[in-house]
Chain A
Amino acid sequence: MSNHNGKSVISRRKFLQTGAALGAGLAVSSSVGFPTILKAANEPIKLGIMLPFSGGMELFGQQGLQGCQMLVEEVNAAGGILGGRKLELVIADNKSDPKVAVERTVQLIQRDKVSAVIGPIASALRDAVKPTVERLKTPLLYATDYEGGVCSPWVACYSPLPEHYVQPLVPYMVENFGKKIYLFGADYSWPQKMNVAIKDTVAKHGGEIVAEEYTPFGAKDFSAVLTKIKDTGADITLLTLPGADGVTFIKQYSAAGLKESCKLGFFGFNDNYLPGLTSEESNGVMAIVHFSRVLDRPETKDFVARQQKMFGDNATISYYAESHYGITKFFVEAIKKAGSDDKTQIMANLPGTEVIGNGDVHLRADDRHVDLNMLIVEAKDSQLTQIKYVGKIVAPSQCG
């Protein structure tokens, strides 16, 4: 969902890592001579990570990987699955580039023989690799919020959809801050589909949309839009402008003194945005998430503690870590249920219910999307604080 305006760059370290992974892969598959049964029993179950580690979206890739790594370590420490087979991650950098994403996906599936591919982050990359995983009949496990509508027998999404965000947050804001709403977002599919859902909900709750506006990628000056927001006398600005442009917008919104008169609701806002803003700038920004480390729930505290133990006390634990841990967990449980690492079996056994970082999460059988527990949060003193626990939101089937 996030925007990226970076060029693709060659990261030598990732290249070497991928190379090392390839070496390990060759070493395993060259262990010929063993009887087939024995070989299968010792062979690790491989899981491909196809996330961005360079090219502009590496922040999210790194956090997603954090989730996957923790689950793999936990499973292996508990003795592996299917009678002692270990899980192994094969890490590939998609460089935030659709073309590279397709190449890496093919490599992971054909060369590294992974049982499933986790990733990517951006919708453009997901749409680019979807035909590939369908053709090669390999599960693609996606764990980022997106605009909805992916219905493929080979894709499962641990993703907050527009309904998850809009249904709880919009009525809450209309009730508490006023009826006149200004919609502003980046000019691509996620914000536009979000705004369709927002307009629908606003109409139901007696609100009024005073303007709906989009901005091209990489715009650095929002003064014209800020003037218009002030001029329309809007009570609420609903922002769908992810990434650096969103940070820029909040800075200028705050400098223009608009925060007092017009409440800012930012879809997609999460812990990652806070270090880039001073507390004066971020204070009062409202958002909705399916996971936040500040949640006062036993499973949340446990998840945060395990993450900190593995990645240090200063580790960022955002919902990317939680969602990628979650989808990996569903993958592992599916293999256990199926008693096999057969790809068709994995997809068939994915649906179920697991407790990950915030209540029980249900992965539905009909469209392979999840029902998530949501909470409304607000930034305060450079932290997200819970305003309201919403609970389970069930989005309509994405295969309709």
Chain B
Amino acid sequence: MKFLDDDLRGRVGLWLWRFWAMMLKELIQLGRDSLLVFAITYLFLFDVYMAGNVGMNLKNAVVTVHDADHSAASRELIYRFQPPYFKLGGEMADGRAGQRLLDTGEALVVLDIPPRFEHDIQSGKPTAVQVQVDAANTVLGFLAASYSAQIIGQYGFDQALARLGVSASALENVPMIRDEHRVWYNPNQKDAWFMPLSELLVVITIMAIMLPAAAAVREKERGTIEQLLVTPLSPIQILLPKVVAMTLVILLGTAASILLVLHGVFDFPMKGSLALFFTVTALYAFTTSGLGIFISTLARNLAQAALLAILVLLPMIFLSGAWTPPEAMPAGLREAMVLSPLYYFIEMGYGILLKGAGLDILWDSLLGLALLGMTIFGLGVWRFRRQFG
């Protein structure tokens, strides 16, 4: 009596045959889960696309004016607040109304021009205008304040020159420092390059944790793991096909995102080797799945798994440099960044795709990712084997 067919006698052949069966099963199941397919499509395509359209730029900030002077000078100053940064939101009769508009969020900037503004300028007396800025959103508030200061300063400078009767060309003889900076890697400082790439790397992270966690916890929730445990499959043989299948799905999603969104919509430069980028992504997705596996051993159902995933994801993203540059972190947290695999992945993702860097420069990040990733994966596998071994 024989229990195995002859051509599967070899243990390696049998192992691969089972691996193939399990991986196929994972892909079929994923394909049937329309909600998950929707989430994958949405995150890899639309979410990345949207990230390219919302930047931290000052755009059409509403400026409301209280002009107590109503003179040519005051009008000129007001009209220097121009799109795309500013938009005039009309005039108020009363200075105190400005406070209310800031409170309700109807205006971001309130410009208050005092009476006798023109008269004072023309008579050479010092004068002042008041600018109130809503800095509830600190970035926007900071940008609005500094742009306003620049506009008003330039206006004062122009007025001073005019009053001295000096033409702009005469300034060439005045000693001045000209600021000639160069911006590298993203010369136009396009948010539409930086933001979608950053978002894509975060989406890869979410998927690398959530997909294997969902696949593993679903088996627990529906009791199918019991059936697998009485088959000759070892825990590794149950686990590995899941991780490989989900890594494949992530690579596919990444390829679609880069081709359709980064390249297709935003005309991303794509400086470095795509092969290197996909290799790094595969390594990252595979090893980070260890966190998902770990979560699946703790959670009893999908809802718990999702909650735990958020708990893991938030510090991981926070410590990665995706939202805050490392230099801006306080000392303790900056050191903790080496514990976030996403930190290395972002280093390498930016390095390869934006700067065109190769392994000669990025080897240390790769080493860090490999070591950290293997530790995480090992932890997940250890927990899984302990639970189901």
A and B: real partners? no
Which B residues have a C-beta under 8 Å from some C-beta of A?
Answer: none
